[in-house]
Chains A and B, each alone.
Chain A
Amino acid sequence: MSLEIYHWEPTVNSGELLICLHEKGIAFTSRYVDLLAFEQHSPEFLALNPRGEVPVLVHDGQVLTETTLVLEYLDAAFPGAALVPDNAAERYHMRVWTKCANDYIVPALAVLGWHERMAGKVAALDRESINARLERLPQDRRVVWQVALDDAFAPEQLARAAQHLNVVARRMEDALEGSEWLAGCSYSLADIAVYPAASAFQALRPDAINAASLPRLAGWLERMRERPAVRAALGLSRSTRPEELFAPGPELGRWG
């Protein structure tokens, strides 16, 4: 059996996958892809994933992408702790949350985090050589990178990203009323899918997410942070402050 994971820092999507692997105790080979060195746009990496996105899982030669779908794959294909609840109602809620992570939280955080923390750091990069790399991407991915590198987000887009995150934070606070975990009483892929982005949002907006404003959400973030699998995933970081690192992510929904 061979299992290779191409990933960046243990933030958002890469973080979700690394936490899941540690929760299940699955041995894997780590292949670090440095997004800020644009390794994800190298011909070698694009041969694996033409969209130039991490993480990618290669299991016995089979290439799998789309993080939250890979999380369900890992849970079904490997032994170890069950990360999918044992009843249909909680499984439904779990999938609503993994979809929410994919469609709302991660894209919104990518816009806001990049604009506030990264745009200044990449201004000095050699755009000519980067643009040559971007030429290899599908149209929609190229646009996402160009907008990010130029820090050309429309004010409306930044406002929408912040609004998405605030709406979801409130929804999480409500979901955690009466249950310890997002999908219900069992810890599940819902918590794993949402945690890295929620944690980064807290680092970005400590005034909005804290024990006074959203106590249940703040408590859940603490519980997650203490899990050995979360600590192990963070241990794979090459940075002292991984929560300060962002990359241009999937686009915000175009049609509500």
Chain B
Amino acid sequence: MTVDVYTWEPNANAGKPLLGLKEKGVEFNYHYIDLAKREQHSPAFLKINPHGMVPALVHDGRVLTESSPMLEYIDEVFDGPPLRPSDPLQLWRMRKFCREMDVSLCPALAMIRSHATASVRYADEDPEMLKRAIERVPLPERKRSWSMQMFNSIPAADIAESHRRVTEAIPMYERALAEFPYLAGPTYSLADINAMCTIYALPVQRPEDVNEESTPHFIDWYRRCHARPGLQAAFALGHEWIAGRVRETRRKLGIE
């Protein structure tokens, strides 16, 4: 049996197979796809995923490229602790948190971050080179977001709406975690893994919204998640800008 993961850092969607496989204790080959060099649009990677997006998981020759269904697959086929509750209602809650992250929160944060860094990141690049880079992006909807990012043309109203979504999501997490220790219910699940891939550092990145006073249950959930060996092993695979951010979060939570 071979398991090959082609992905970037343990960050957002790219992190899902890393956190999932480490939690299950599965051995795998980690093939680093450098998004800074736009390797996901290289001919070599397009042979693995013609859509030009990370992550891709290759298990015994089978290629999987959609990260949330990929997490369910990882839980289904590998030994190790179960990462999905068996109760149908808790399963529905698990998938609802995954879905809200995938369609609302994760894209909102990606848009905010792209906007914040674009003017620095692409300032020295030749616009004609950038246009050619966009031409190499296979999916039309990804062409669109790359173009908005590289040419810093995201409408201000869209940025404002993304901030609104992040701000509104935080009390929703606090309420859910006041009811149960984990997002789906009493046990750690794919919903927590999916969330941690993207919002692992909110106590450091948004201290005004996520802190001991206003979101005590959310903060306790961060402590429980960041204490997990599987999660730590996955974040340890990241380069310093990720690992350092995780260390800083752990320090702030008082567990480093």
Listed in ascending order, the chain A residues whose CB lies under 8 Å from chain B are: 62, 64-66, 69-70, 72-73, 76-77, 88-89, 91-92, 95-96, 99, 102-103, 139-140, 160, 163-164, 167, 253-256
Contact = CB atoms under 8 A, between A and B. Distances in A.
B37 interface: no
Contacts of A92: 64, 66, 69-70, 72-73
Q: Interface centre among B95, B144, B146, by most A CB within 10 Å?
A: B95
Given A99-B69, A256-B145, 11 more contacts: A64-B92, A65-B96, A66-B95, A73-B91, A73-B92, A77-B88, A88-B73, A92-B69, A92-B70, A255-B110, A256-B144
A91 B69 CA distance: 8
Contacts of B232: none
B141 A256 contact: yes
Contacts of A76: 88, 91
A167 B138 CA distance: 12
Given A160-B141, A253-B107, A256-B139, A69 B73 contact: no
A144 B111 CA distance: 20
A89 B60 CA distance: 12
Contact of A255 (B66, B96, B99, B107): B107
Contacts of B89: 62, 73, 77
B92 A72 contact: yes
Contacts of A160: 140-141, 144
Contacts of A140: 161, 165
Interface in B76-122: 76-77, 88-89, 91-92, 95-96, 99, 103, 107-108, 110-111
B62 interface: yes
B9 to A, nearest CB: 18
Contacts of B135: none
Nearest to B89: A62
A103 B68 CA distance: 13
Contacts, number: 80
B158 interface: yes
B92 A91 contact: no
B72 to A, nearest CB: 6
10 contacts: A72-B95, A91-B73, A96-B66, A99-B69, A102-B99, A160-B141, A167-B140, A254-B111, A255-B111, A256-B141
A103 B72 CA distance: 18
A144 to B, nearest CB: 12
A161 B72 CA distance: 29
Given A66-B99, A254-B158, A256-B144, A91 B76 contact: yes
Nearest to B91: A76
Contact of B145 (A73, A77, A99, A255): A255
A95 B141 contact: no
Nearest to A64: B92
A74 to B, nearest CB: 9
A95 B111 contact: no
Given A139-B164, A254-B107, A95 B96 contact: no
Contacts of B66: 92, 95-96, 99
A207 B68 CA distance: 35
Contacts of B142: 256
Contacts of B143: 256
Q: Interface centre among B69, B70, B76, B143, by most A CB within 10 Å?
A: B69
B92 A96 contact: no
Contacts of B64: 92
* Closest 10 pairs between A and B when the two form their complex, measured CB to CB: A256-B145, A95-B69, A255-B107, A76-B88, A77-B88, A256-B141, A88-B76, A256-B142, A92-B73, A69-B95
Nearest to B137: A256
Nearest to A57: B92
A160 B73 CA distance: 31
Contacts of B88: 73, 76-77
Contacts of B68: 95, 99
A103 B92 contact: no
A119 B70 CA distance: 39
B103 to A, nearest CB: 6
